[in-house]
Each structure stands twice: as structure tokens, then as C-alpha cells.
Amino acid sequence: MDKRLFFSATRKNRDCIGDVLSGIIRKKGSILEIGSGSGEHGVFFQKRFSGIVWQASDPNLVYRKSISSWIDYEKLNKIMPQPLYIDVEKIPWKIPSQLAYSLQGVVSINMIHVAEWTCTIALFREAGKLLKEGQFLMLYGPFKIGNNYTSKSNYYFDNSLKMQNDLWGMRNVEEVSNEAQKNGFVQEDLISMPSNNFSIIYRKFSY
């Protein structure tokens, strides 16, 4: 049965996120996506970067079913694996050894503001253990910079998030990057994206 979900933002942001990824993804290897949601990004990027393996994940079963349905619908079964259950806070993340071996980066799109701050901490801690020197972690979403909103609409959006859950909310880039640094990442790039969003590229460095 078709269990595909459709998240409207994915159609608007997938090309520009893909353009950022095209600058950092190498030709081969695997990418682990955390908080994949509907799976629309996953199948889109699997098709755009056909030499790599896009490993989607989500803690939500309904979303994992949607991801599987999207994989079927796009006839990607032979190259794209089924989604993993990963809740960033349930550590260690259970990932196949082949994925760990071939991993070149971790991507998380629109996740950390719809999760508690402890999820950001867990994301960097676990990704920091998985990734090796030179590999990347990319975040995409709305952020505050210097504790300021970058637009009025982001201010309203943040308030709406906090009304749904007072532990959710738009994160401050400096605090996120501080967490990154604690786990061996350096902020390599902060890229302004359409609709007042940002992509942040973190790169694992050696101590």
C-alpha cells in the first residue's frame, strides 16, 4: 500500500540543499540522513547523487513507512536501503557496519528546532564518534545568529514552535557550533539559503 507522505517544504528546498551537497559529497560512499521525515529528500538526493548510497532514518514509524513507500515508488530498491530507526538520543545508534565503513557524512534537515536541545547534543556526540577526520555533518534549517532572528517570519515561526512544545525552538548558530566543537567539528561554512534558512557545514578535525 502507498504510504507516501508529502511535506510541502521539501519541493521548495530540495534543489538548493542539493546544490550545497554537490559541493561536499564525494562520488562514492554513504550519507546518513537523520530525521528524514517523509523521505522525499532522501529519494531526491539518491537520484541526484547516484554513485552514493543515501541512508535515510527516522524514529517515527509512520515516517519510516513513508520513506519505504517513496523508495518503492521511485524504484530505488536496488540502490537505496530501507530507512533505519534512529532516535539521536538512543545511543549508540544502531547502524550496519557497511554503512559505518563507507560513511562520508551525516545530514540533518529541519530536525534540531523540532526536537529538544538534548537532541542537538546527542546528534553531535554520536556523529562525532562515527565520522572520521575530514568528514562532514551538514545541518539545514532556520537559525538565530548572535541570538537574533534573521527575519520577522522566523520570530513568528519560533513562537509557534514553542507553543507546540516549549523545549523546541530555533537554535542559535553559535551555541550549535560550540556543541560541534566539543565533539571535534569545526564550522567550515554558514550558507544563507532561500526563505531565511541556512546550511551549516561542520567538518571533523583531528585532535
Ligand X SMILES: C[S@@+](CC[C@H](N)C(=O)[O-])C[C@H]1O[C@@H](n2cnc3c(N)ncnc32)[C@H](O)[C@@H]1O
Q: Which stretch binds ligand X (CB under 6 A): 112-120, 145-153, 164-172, 178-186?
A: 112-120
- Distance, C-alpha 90 to centroid of its chain: 17
Can you state the angle between helices 61-73 and 40-48, rounded to 10 degrees?
A: 40
- Least CB distance from residue 157 to ligand X, whole Å? 11
Residue 158 within binding range of ligand X, rule CB under 6 A: no
Instruction: Name the nearest CA neighbour of 23 among 50, 49, 57.
Output: 49
Task: Give residue 94's identity as a one-letter amino acid code.
Answer: K
Position closest to ligand X via CB: 37
Tell me which residue has cell 540543499. 17
Cα-Cα-Cα-Cα dihedral of 180, 50, 142, 134, to 10°? 20
Cis bond leading into 92, ω under 30°?
yes
Residue 28 or 90: the one with the smaller Cβ distance to ligand X is 90
Q: Which stretch binds ligand X (CB under 6 A): 32-40, 65-73, 77-85, 151-159?
A: 32-40
Residue 117 within binding range of ligand X, rule CB under 6 A: no
Q: Which stretch binds ligand X (CB under 6 A): 67-75, 111-119, 178-186, 191-199?
A: 111-119
x-marked contacts with ligand X along 33-62 as a string, rule CB under 6 A = -xxxxx--x----------------xxx--
DSSP 8-state assignment for residue 115: S
DSSP 8-state assignment for residue 83: P
- Least CB distance from residue 15 to ligand X, whole Å? 14
Q: Which residues bind ligand X (CB under 6 A)?
A: 7, 10, 34-38, 41, 58-60, 63, 86-89, 109-111, 114-115, 119
